[in-house]
Structure 1
Amino acid sequence: MSDELNNVEVRNFEEGDKVTGTVTSVEEKQVYVGIPDSKLDGVVPISELSNVHVESASDVVQVGDTLDLIVTKVEEDVLVLSKRKVDALKAVDDIQAKFESGEVFDAVVSDVVKGGLVVDLGVRAFVPASLVEDHFVEDFSDYKGKTISFKVVEFEPENNRVILSHRAIVEEEKEGKKKEILASIKEGDVLTGTVERLANFGAFVDLGGVDGLVHISQISYQHISTPGEVLSEGQSVQVKVIGVDPDNERISLSIKETEPGPWDQIAEKAPVGSVLKGKVMRLVSFGAFVELFPGVEGLVHISQIAHKHIGTPNEVLSEGEEVEVKVLDVNEDEKRLSLSIKALQEEPVEEQDYELPEENTGFQMGDLIGDKLKDIQNRDNE
């Protein structure tokens, strides 16, 4: 037997040699490998198993696995080997190709570290927190072990720098979906959306991948100072498309046009001759506009404000004042109401000429006047 062993050709290995071995034993911090044609056993330290941090060697390999390795050190009774370096050599060309082509690929998140995620591509690749999603993520702990799609966005092999992005894929998918939606939406469509964001000038509504703007003037028929008075983020709303600009990716929406108009059936709500209460909204030189219902204002002409003559409406009225009015005329087609305040007020009694009561002085008023006339005539004759 010893003669047979002596006749087996034994290979001498040097640093940098590539070998293929089979895992014979797995310990916590190292792996033993059998190398054909070698009188020495091979050992792979845990630090040389992967380009990312691993807690235990069994997380990477199992007994019986065949590994491509490179000799990093030749000792008297063992070959020190590296799987990490072989993986890195194989990975460089593949990563370069993915970087140049913009290929989207799936990979497992190996670890979560401060500032982002780590992915083992044969070399250590990093995903900054800002490139994980297109929204803020407070805790990335759930990402460890997950398979996610990535793109290589930076690659500097000389500096061992590989930067991946999942956010770029999310944004590209959203952009593609956005173009599809923009192409399908037509003016006049009535859609259901979700209030995404409120601004002073209006509300942005998500239509399922693309946002449209509801200007504050298109939110409600009644006057509002801010969108937050009637809307809240996350609220589901029905909107009507009133404008589409595909080139600038803008969609104009209206909420109020999906609701019954305030002037609908106004002749029934405010029939001629009816008496209603309202609020003075605006004063102008020719009269006062009074709101009777949300979005419905009627005009009290200056001649219908008071029985007495006034130069301007603000002589007797003020904005915000509650008043009672009588409906004089209704024109639903032209959305006009003619109102009167003075029609509900009692007309003042006009001044008339009255006979002065005669005092009981023993003579008549006519006698007194006659005597005076005689005196004048006598002076003229003299």
Structure 2
Amino acid sequence: MGTVSTGSDAQLDRNALAALYEETFRNLEEGTITEGRVVALTKDKVVVDIGYKSEGMIPGDQFSTEELQNLKLGDKLQVYIEECEDADGNLVLSKEKADKMKIWEELEKLYKEEKSIEGKIISRIKGGMMVDIGVKAFLPGSQIDLHPVRDLDGLVGKTFPLKIIKINHRRGNVVVSRRVLLEETRDKKRQTTLANLKEGQLIQGMVKNITDYGAFIDLGGIDGLLHITDMSWGRVGHPSEMFSVGDKVEVTVLKYDRETGRISLGLKQKSADPWTNVAGKYPIGTRVRGRVVSLTDYGAFVELEPGVEGLVHVSEMSWTHEVRHPSRVVAVGDQVEAAVLNVDPASRKISLGMKQTAPNPWDMIETKYPIGTRIEGKVKSLTDFGAFIGLEEGIDGLIHISDMSWTKHIKHPSELFKKGQKVEAIVLRIDKEKERLSLGYKQLTRDPWDDEIPSRYHVGDSVTGKVSKVADFGIFVELEGGVEGLIHISEAGLESQTKLEEKFKLGEEVTAKIIKVDREERKIALSLREHHLDTDRRQMDEYHASQGSLDQSLGRAAKQSRKRQQSDD
């Protein structure tokens, strides 16, 4: 026999159910996340039971294709309650918003715990980069790396560990930093490196930066300087010749100053100094071969072996011609042969000579061109004091201006010669040590001062010639036979204010008196003043002589007149 419910019991059951219903409704607040169970699946929607009075529907486009394929009835989902009842009384749920809220919760947790998160750089924007960390976050340009990044576009698509430095869920703002993590890593490495660092140890590093004076090496959170002078025992023009940024290198710790934190590094110290045995390896007179590594105005540096260079001075490059600049003879990279002239290990200097590997033409000069030899050559250059004549490659002779003419006063060699002209000359003197060869041009002919000039020109004679030069001190007059005589300014017979060039013109014919013939000095001195005085005396004598003849004629005429008068009487 069954139990019959009374009216009061039925009312109690209804109240209990209403209370349970009300409790369920209170626990499900809009804007919260709850767990639900999939109860139905279609192409366009997923139906989820969250224990509410009605089931909720989630649009299918909030799921990826893969998620929809793997989803099964009964699967549990975290969902976001958008509305408990819409206009149609339906429960509105969102998986997409639930996922985002979970992400924000995770981000806030990471921020509080100061942990890192992987982020993918998706685009470059003003002031930095946009990063995907589940939500879009801003990576300022100053927080990308420890140093400024030039190619920001090259970072797009790359993934880096990042640290959240600012977050605002309400505004949807997240700011991240990569630099903070790099600094933390660097500081940890720095402490480890410094704890183990000691002078003399070998340490691995990476070239971080290159300057004109050296390279900065990252030793692991701390930088050391590898100075250019400690890179190689040899010559290094610029650190970039040996290293590029990013190169790995093993170096020696030369000095570590714990107070300043400065670290000096060395590379060449890993090997023995090649100059230790240079004197024994390259004794004076040794023939060597090497590569030209640099040129200066004064010579060429030749590498004999790594770390050992010698200098070929410009004066030691050729016997045969004057080298004005090493580039006329050699170029960087050339292989050359030379002789060791001097070794100074203390100063780390080796003097080399290239010309010493070939015979010196001046050693044979006396045999090839003995004094008195008649030679032929071309005029190479003219100077105020003479003309240089090229006899062969490297052998030049000088015709001094005093050896150009027996009879003429040569003011400049250009009066007789021009560049490139073929001339003959006589070898007068040889100086092997100074490599000088003196030539004579006037010696090609007999000296007219031996007998011809002294016998033709005598003191007291009057001679006529043409003005060949006008100098401050006098006038040169070319006489017969090409001989020049000088009328000194004191013998020109001019008033004190009158200048020679105003009175005498080139080519003008003048007559003067010879007042001196100096055979030793090969000079003829002339005087216009004396010539004029002689002319005046001669004219006076002629005048007096003519006056005497007139008086005699008048006397004879008077005497004859008296005789005629007497006879008439």
Q: TM-score over 0.5 for the alignment? A: yes
Pick closer, same or farther for the CA change 1:43–1:133 going to 2, 3 Å: farther
2:49 maps to which residue? 34
1:169 maps to which residue? 181
Deviations 1:187-228 (A, max 9, x none): 322334444554444334444555444333333333343334
Aligned length: 324
Matched, 1:103 2:114: yes
Pick closer, same or farther for the CA change 1:268–1:59 going to 2, 3 Å: farther
**Structure 1 position 126, deviation (Å):** 2.0
Q: 2:131 aligns with which of 108, 114, 117?
A: 117
2:406 maps to which residue? none
Pick closer, same or farther for the CA change 1:270–1:142 going to 2, 3 Å: closer
2:190 maps to which residue? 178
Identity within the alignment, %: 26
2:279 maps to which residue? 267
**Structure 1 position 265, deviation (Å):** 1.7
- Asked if 2 retains the 8 angstrom alpha-carbon contact of 1:105 and 1:150, the reply is yes
Pick closer, same or farther for the CA change 1:137–1:262 going to 2, 3 Å: farther
Pick closer, same or farther for the CA change 1:73–1:26 going to 2, 3 Å: same
- Asked if 2 retains the 8 angstrom alpha-carbon contact of 1:242 and 1:252, the reply is yes
> Partner letter of residue 259 of structure 1?
S
Is there any run of 5+ residues in structure 1 with no aligned partner, and where?
307-314, 353-382
2:497 maps to which residue? none
**Structure 1 position 270, deviation (Å):** 0.6
**Structure 1 position 229, deviation (Å):** 3.1
1:16 maps to which residue? 30
**Structure 1 position 258, deviation (Å):** 2.3
Pick closer, same or farther for the CA change 1:67–1:283 going to 2, 3 Å: closer
Pick closer, same or farther for the CA change 1:224–1:319 going to 2, 3 Å: farther
**Structure 1 position 161, deviation (Å):** 0.6
**Structure 1 position 98, deviation (Å):** 4.6
- Asked if 2 retains the 8 angstrom alpha-carbon contact of 1:330 and 1:338, the reply is yes
> Partner letter of residue 215 of structure 2?
A
**Structure 1 position 104, deviation (Å):** 1.0
Matches of 2:248 and 2:217, distance apart in 1:
9
> Partner letter of residue 48 of structure 2?
V
SS in 2 for 1:74: coil
> Partner letter of residue 118 of structure 1?
D
Matched, 1:74 2:88: no
**Which has the higher Rg, Structure 1 or Structure 2?**
2
- Asked if 1 retains the 8 angstrom alpha-carbon contact of 2:289 and 2:304, the reply is no
Deviations 1:97-154 (A, max 9, x none): 654x5611446x6x8744443223xxx35254966777768476575xxxx7542112
Pick closer, same or farther for the CA change 1:317–1:292 going to 2, 3 Å: farther
RMSD of equivalent CA atoms:
5.0
Pick closer, same or farther for the CA change 1:211–1:31 going to 2, 3 Å: farther
Superposition pairs for residues 125-136 of structure 1, below 5 Å?
125-126=136-137, 128=139
2:472 maps to which residue? none
Matches of 1:102 and 1:153, distance apart in 2:
11
Superposition pairs for residues 216-235 of structure 1, below 5 Å?
216-232=228-244, 235=247
Structure with more of its chain in helix, by fraction: 2
Matched, 1:252 2:252: no
1:202 maps to which residue? 214
> Partner letter of residue 50 of structure 2?
I
- Asked if 1 retains the 8 angstrom alpha-carbon contact of 2:116 and 2:164, the reply is no
Deviations 1:218-242 (A, max 9, x none): 3333334333434445544432223
- Asked if 2 retains the 8 angstrom alpha-carbon contact of 1:29 and 1:57, the reply is no
SS in 1 for 2:182: helix
> Partner letter of residue 57 of structure 2?
V
Matches of 2:44 and 2:187, distance apart in 1:
47
Matches of 1:159 and 1:23, distance apart in 2:
32
**Structure 1 position 95, deviation (Å):** 4.8
- Asked if 2 retains the 8 angstrom alpha-carbon contact of 1:30 and 1:43, the reply is yes
1:44 maps to which residue? 58
Pick closer, same or farther for the CA change 1:196–1:74 going to 2, 3 Å: same
**Structure 1 position 80, deviation (Å):** 0.4
Higher relative contact order (CA 8 A, sep 6+): 1
Matches of 1:324 and 1:132, distance apart in 2:
56
Is there any run of 5+ residues in structure 2 with no aligned partner, and where?
1-9, 125-129, 331-335, 367-428, 432-569
